A and B are shown apart, each in its own frame.
Chain A
Amino acid sequence: MTATGSEQMLAPTSDRLGRMHRAQVHRDPWPDFAAFDREAYDPVLRRAAAVQWAGRARAEHGSVHQFTILSHTLCCARVPLTLVGALSRLVTDEVRHAELCAEMALACYPEGKEGEPAIFRWERPVAPWRDPPTLDDDALMPVWQWAAEAICVSCCIGETLSRPMLEAIAVVATDPVADAVARQILRDEHLHASFGWESLGWLVARLDDEARAGLTDRMTRSFAAVEKSTTCGIPIEEVAGKALEIGPSEVPNLGVLTDEQYAMIFYATMETEVLPQLQALGLPALEAWGVRPRRV
């Protein structure tokens, strides 16, 4: 039987590499996945959770891919070491997150390895940006614009949204292993968003008017894309003026949110965190939001 994608993610290489990996990447006590009590949960519930955790593992691995491209490009542009140093932390964090999510997915639904390997698929990552521009030491503006777009998409929007989503996942999870996984990842997400806001501020200060306009166009496109992928078809008009409380689930939950929870978290976070912080950097985020293509 061919190993599933999640299993390939977790495959051993050599003992020494494994020790180096654990020393570098496993910063917190590792959750005891063997303690996950499969028999306590309905297989349908476990399968649904495995779909989410395996997808999260792919997304986290995608972040490793994105942050290494960003790191490579900024390194070639010879930005100060504090920037690439802070970014390096994100790379190892994302490796750990991918590993945690893949382990959780396999713990939830081990019978799926044989019966439904597509749940644990692992596609080749593709960054949600243009390729980085060719570097020209005498004209770095295209690099600053590209890096600003990448950081805006992956960190300022992506990581800022991930934090409350993970917080909610940790709150609703009734299983101790799922809770431990979500909380361990959550501890890093705030740092990742902070990196995004700090580094975007550094880059925006270097952009000329044309590059700022390009960044604004990119924001508009990203707003539309994350709205479509996150709100489960619930438009802003349906939730504006409403509030939602998310607390510990009354029924068994392995770290899965409802459509309404996703939509409320998304719109509330965009309204109170993402758009105001982009505006504070001098970017016309509210205007960009207003003209985004609606495809919900």
Chain B
Amino acid sequence: MSSAGKSTRKVLHFAVGGALLGGIAPGCASRDKDIHVNEGPEPEPKFAPNPGPEELEGKQTPPEVDEHVNEGPEPEPTADTATPDDKPNADDVNPGPVDEPHPKPTAKVNPGPEPVTPTPKTVNTQKVKDPGQ
């Protein structure tokens, strides 16, 4: 492919050789293993021809991609949400005052590391000890 200038505007030249010939005949999607599912819509160049609304009418809406919404990491089970197997042994839990109607366990289940406090980017919150000292 090359282009040559005219007086003010280009003329583009496109030539197709024979390197792309061969392969499977049109209409034969024979490589079943290449037909993947749930991999999103098929790619197309941004400047490919676009169908008008009239061409879309009657077309079945393409199936929604099996999207997985990223909702962040699974929350650690808390005492309130833990399943019976996860719930702390009653022996390990300080039941609190007896007259409290719904005692909440004080022991956290798998609390993990302390939550990170959001900090302005310009603040150096962790002083590292000078290794030379």
Which A residues form the contact surface with B (CB < 8 A)? 48, 51-52, 54-56, 59-60, 62-63, 116, 118-119, 121, 126-131, 153-154, 157-159, 161-162, 164-169, 171, 217, 220-222, 224-226, 228-230, 232, 235-237, 239-248, 257, 259, 262, 264-273, 275, 286, 289-296
Q: Which 10 A-B pairs have the closest CB atoms?
A: A55-B50, A225-B42, A229-B44, A118-B53, A293-B29, A165-B47, A128-B43, A59-B46, A290-B23, A268-B14
Q: Is B28 an interface residue (CB 8 A)?
A: yes
Q: Which chain B positions have C-beta within 8 A of A162?
A: 45-47
CB pair B48–A230 under 8 Å, yes or no, is yes
CA distance A110 to B21 in the complex (A): 44
CB pair A63–B46 under 8 Å, yes or no, is yes
CA distance A118 to B51 in the complex (A): 11
**What number of residue pairs across chains A and B have CB atoms under 8 A from each other?**
204
Q: Which chain B positions have C-beta within 8 A of A56?
A: 46-47, 50
Q: Which chain A positions have C-beta within 8 A of B56?
A: 118
21 contacts between A and B (CB under 8 A): A51-B51, A59-B44, A119-B53, A126-B41, A128-B41, A128-B44, A130-B38, A131-B68, A157-B45, A158-B45, A158-B46, A164-B1, A167-B3, A167-B12, A221-B36, A243-B13, A266-B45, A271-B20, A291-B31, A294-B28, A296-B26
- Chain B 71-95, CB-CB to A under 8 Å as 1, else 0, gives 0000000000000000000000000
**Given A118-B56, A270-B20: A229 touches B40 (CB 8 Å cut-off):** no
The one of A62, A257, A295 that contacts B49, using a Cβ cutoff of 8 Å? A257
CA distance A130 to B45 in the complex (A): 18
CB pair B27–A295 under 8 Å, yes or no, is yes
CB pair B9–A248 under 8 Å, yes or no, is yes
Question: Distance (Å) between the CB of B55 and the closest chain A CB?
Answer: 9
CB pair B53–A275 under 8 Å, yes or no, is no
**Given A51-B50, A228-B42, A268-B1: A171 touches B31 (CB 8 Å cut-off):** no
Q: Which chain B positions have C-beta within 8 A of A290?
A: 22-24
CB pair B45–A226 under 8 Å, yes or no, is yes
CB pair A230–B19 under 8 Å, yes or no, is no
CB pair B46–A60 under 8 Å, yes or no, is yes
Q: Is B18 an interface residue (CB 8 A)?
A: yes
CB pair B11–A245 under 8 Å, yes or no, is yes
CA distance A198 to B41 in the complex (A): 25
Instruction: Contacts A221-B42, A243-B14, A247-B10 known; list 18 others, CB within 8 Å.
Output: A56-B47, A60-B46, A128-B42, A161-B45, A166-B47, A167-B12, A221-B35, A221-B39, A225-B44, A235-B26, A240-B21, A246-B11, A246-B12, A271-B16, A272-B1, A289-B23, A290-B23, A292-B31
The one of A161, A167, A294 that contacts B29, using a Cβ cutoff of 8 Å? A294
CB pair B50–A130 under 8 Å, yes or no, is no
CB pair B24–A292 under 8 Å, yes or no, is yes
Question: Distance (Å) between the CB of A47 and the closest chain B CB?
Answer: 8
CB pair B39–A130 under 8 Å, yes or no, is yes
Question: Distance (Å) between the CB of B28 and the closest chain A CB?
Answer: 6
Nearest neighbor of B45 in chain A, beta-carbon distance? A161
**Given A118-B53, A126-B65: A241 touches B12 (CB 8 Å cut-off):** no
Question: Distance (Å) between the CB of B8 and the closest chain A CB?
Answer: 9
CA distance A153 to B36 in the complex (A): 15
